[in-house]
């Protein structure tokens, strides 16, 4: 589908075959992103990974993120953080279940705070439980605000040039909001950087304990610049791209489970049978034993991908499915529609994790009917971190608690509406009543 948008033109790619032609056959020609005004602002003029041009600095930034945060060794070294934070959440929900039985907890808020705690500790060296300036709720709110702002289109994106000044005047309020969000985010990144610079004798990027901020500071130092925009751009990608994307899937997974008691029961029976009763703590080693849970994660990513439409921009003229696509066309891969295509999926709207039994589908972007993490050069670099965190959290939720809807609600009463610009949230918070299993 072609969409002329003022002076910009966009195409939406909604079939498996066309997605493969874009992301595999033409990977190199389509590995740029649309440069909309809000993304430009929040990425410090494209000095980040996610919105950057396909360039040497994109390659450098992506490499540092892999070395300091996302490779297997680093993932293992932050295992204790994920487990500790999970333990903390289980205790919090347990207390709530014991003190106020039959009172609902806000799982949307709990999951946002959980992932914010995990990522801020492992990636940014910030413990939000003890931080004097930022607490978990403030951070969770800032993430939502920033994420909603990121891919917001402005009038000037469609009508650049002289009309831009007129648009600036007309949409001052929107721009003002973006400026305020940017300032709040910038203060946070600056705080993180200052914190790292304070400890001049602290870890170097070669130390096993170094985090991505240390790695990025070393990189800008090596490149002989004191411009911190590149560091802040990458912090933005982790902060806005890493927290809500994981939390969104957790919220949808629990929503689907409560709407589908058959699946919830089957998952809990499997988990409790293989882990045994009365365990105090779950570890990541336990993830090896719970196959059905992994299918639940896949099915949730199929039905509710956090990034339902992947933005790309063509770098040269190309042909997709026989259609000519000029250079600089915005391309949106409609992962959401492909994940619900009745030509590919039987009963596509139903939540049936069993559909993935014996399927070779993985998250590596080789199956173009299932692209929750994208594909090719610009695919999500955090697949392992994301899938481990998702599985660990759901395992804890299903092992330690039984779940009910509040106030006599039934599954059909749940509002399934969503809201977003690039990542899409469940619009209404998910409120469920926990009952401690043992």
* Footprint of ligand HEM (CB under 6 A): 49-50, 62, 237-238, 241-242, 245-246, 249, 306-307, 310, 372-375, 378-382, 385-386
Question: Tokens standing for 170?
Answer: 């007309």
> CB-wise, 97 or 325, nearer to ligand HEM?
325
Phi first, then psi: give them for residue 7, nearest 5 degrees.
Answer: -85, -5
**Virtual torsion, Cα 313, 316, 319, 320, nearest 10 deg:** -20
Beta strands 330-334 and 8-13 are parallel
Closer CB to ligand HEM, 39 or 167, in the complex: 39
The residue whose Cβ lies closest to ligand HEM is 374
**Between 16 and 174, CB nearer to ligand HEM:** 16
| CB of residue 323 to ligand HEM, shortest distance in Å | 21
Least CB distance from residue 119 to ligand HEM, whole Å? Answer: 6
Name which of 166 and 361 has its Cβ closer to ligand HEM.
Answer: 361
Question: Residue 238: enclosing H or E segment and its boundaries?
Answer: helix 229-259
- The H-or-E segment that residue 232 falls in is helix 229-259
The answer to whether residues 18 and 7 touch, using CB atoms and an 8 Å cutoff, is no
Task: Quickly list H helices, 1-51.
Answer: 16-20, 37-42
- The Cβ-side half-sphere exposure at 41, using a 13 Å CA radius, reads 23
Q: What is the DSSP string of 117-173?
A: HHHHHHHH---TTT-SS--HHHHHHHHHHHHHHHT---HHHHS-THHHHHHHHHTHH
Q: Which is nearer to ligand HEM, 167 or 394 (CB)?
A: 394
User: Least distance in Å: CB of 423 to ligand HEM?
Assistant: 8
Q: Using the minimum distance from each CB to ligand HEM, give the nearer residue, 205 or 306.
A: 306
CA distance 109 to 430: 8
Residue among 213 and 433 whose Cβ is closer to ligand HEM: 213
Q: Which long-range contacts (C-beta less than 8 Å, at least 24 apart) are formed by 382-385?
A: 382/69, 382/70, 382/242, 384/70, 384/72, 384/75, 385/69, 385/70, 385/75, 385/242
Residue 181 or 300: which CB sits closer to ligand HEM? 300
Question: H or E element: which one contains 222?
Answer: helix 212-222
């Amino acid at each position: 589908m072609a969409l002329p948008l003022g002076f910009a033109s966009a195409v939406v790619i909604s079939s498996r075959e066309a997605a493969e032609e874009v992301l595999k056959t033409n990977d190199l020609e389509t590995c740029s992103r649309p440069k909309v005004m809000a993304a430009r602002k929040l990425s410090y003029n494209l000095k980040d990974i996610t919105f950057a041009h396909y360039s040497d600095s994109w390659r450098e930034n992506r490499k540092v993120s892999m070395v300091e945060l996302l490779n297997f060794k680093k993932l293992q070294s932050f295992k204790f953080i994920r487990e500790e934070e999970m333990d903390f959440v289980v205790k919090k929900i347990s207390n709530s279940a014991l003190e106020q039985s039959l009172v609902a907890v806000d799982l949307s808020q709990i999951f946002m705070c959980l992932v914010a705690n995990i990522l801020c500790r492992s990636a940014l060296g910030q413990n939000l439980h003890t931080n004097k300036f930022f607490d978990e709720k403030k951070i969770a709110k800032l993430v939502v605000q920033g994420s909603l702002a990121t891919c917001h289109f402005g009038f000037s994106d469609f009508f650049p040039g002289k009309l831009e000044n007129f648009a600036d005047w007309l949409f001052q309020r929107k721009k003002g909001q973006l400026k305020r969000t940017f300032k709040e985010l910038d203060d946070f990144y600056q705080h993180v950087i200052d914190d790292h610079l304070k400890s001049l004798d602290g870890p170097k990027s070669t130390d096993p304990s170094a985090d991505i901020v240390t790695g990025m500071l070393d990189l800008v130092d090596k490149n002989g610049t004191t411009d911190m925009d590149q560091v802040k751009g990458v912090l933005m990608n982790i902060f806005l791209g890493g927290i809500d994307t994981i939390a969104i899937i957790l919220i949808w997974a629990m929503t689907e489970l409560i709407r589908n008691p058959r699946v919830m029961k089957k998952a809990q029976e499997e988990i409790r049978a293989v882990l045994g009763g009365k365990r105090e703590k779950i570890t990541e080693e336990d993830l090896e034993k719970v196959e059905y849970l992994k299918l639940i994660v896949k099915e949730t990513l199929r039905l509710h991908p956090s990034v339902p439409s992947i933005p790309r921009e063509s770098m040269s003229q190309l042909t997709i499915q026989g259609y000519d696509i000029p250079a600089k066309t915005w391309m949106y891969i409609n992962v959401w529609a492909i994940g619900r295509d009745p030509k590919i999926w039987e009963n596509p709207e139903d939540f049936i994790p069993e559909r993935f039994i014996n399927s070779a589908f993985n998250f590596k972007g080789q199956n173009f009917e299932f692209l929750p993490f994208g594909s090719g050069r610009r695919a999500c670099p955090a697949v392992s971190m994301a899938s481990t965190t998702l599985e660990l959290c759901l395992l804890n939720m299903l092992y330690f608690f039984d779940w009910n809807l509040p106030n006599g609600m039934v599954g059909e009463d749940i509002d399934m509406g969503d809201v977003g610009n690039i990542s899409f949230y469940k619009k209404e918070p998910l409120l469920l009543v926990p009952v401690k299993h043992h």
